[in-house]
Amino acid sequence: MSLTTSGDDEAVPGFYDTGPPDAQGFIPFRFPAGRFNANFPLRARLEGEGRVLVRIETGLHAANAGGRLHGGYTLAAVEQALPVTLFMLPDRSFTPAVVLTFAIQFVTGGDIEQPIDVFVSVVRETKRLFFLSGTAEQGDAVLMNWQATASKVTPRK
């Protein structure tokens, strides 16, 4: 599954993949350097019908003043998982979308030594909207529950 045509051209605006699935079935994605999205190294794989797991790397860049995982990083990481999810869903060409609503509940703090696993489920899809829900987790710990609504981007006439 290649999203680029020559390395510099973007077949899917906004992100590239970096190769075939790894041994765990994750497709690695990279975002163009200099964009906000490039702060979130991630990989994704299908977890069932309408469900995607997006694994986002953490590290010192994701730490708060106390050395723990920053809640803002977790929130932004989850938001970055949404367009990747919409790309990963089978039987659909990539549909760019923008997030309209995003309701979150922080459950516990995270660790910068572990990746964040973002589980995304498509609850419903209409002609113009996606209704999504999921969790951000590390191991057995749920860091955040969330729900989002995304609007499909249509060309202006």
Report d(CA 133, CA 130) in Å as an integer.
Answer: 10
Mean pLDDT of 145-150: 96
Residue 11: what pLDDT? 47
- Can you give the pTM of this predicted structure? 0.84
- In 3D space, the residue among 33, 34, 32, 26 whose CA is nearest the CA of residue 13 turns out to be 32
Residue 93: what pLDDT? 61
pLDDT band at 156 (very low <50, low <70, confident <90, very high): confident
Residue 13: what pLDDT? 54
In the block, residue with structure tokens 């790397």: 57
Mean pLDDT of 63-74: 95
63-77, 90-104, 129-143: least confidently modelled range = 90-104
- In 3D space, the residue among 89, 90, 83 whose CA is nearest the CA of residue 153 turns out to be 83
Report d(CA 91, CA 19) in Å as an integer.
Answer: 21
- In 3D space, the residue among 81, 86, 110, 111 whose CA is nearest the CA of residue 96 turns out to be 86
pLDDT for 73-103, tens place per residue? 999 999 989 888 888 887 666 677 889 999 9
Report d(CA 105, CA 146) in Å as an integer.
Answer: 6
More confident residue, 139 or 49: 139
Pairing status of strand 141-152 against strand 27-30: unpaired
State in words which class domain 16-152 has.
Answer: alpha beta
The C-alpha angle 5, 10, 11, rounded to 5 degrees, equals 65
Report d(CA 12, CA 126) in Å as an integer.
Answer: 22
DSSP secondary structure code for residue 13 in this structure: T
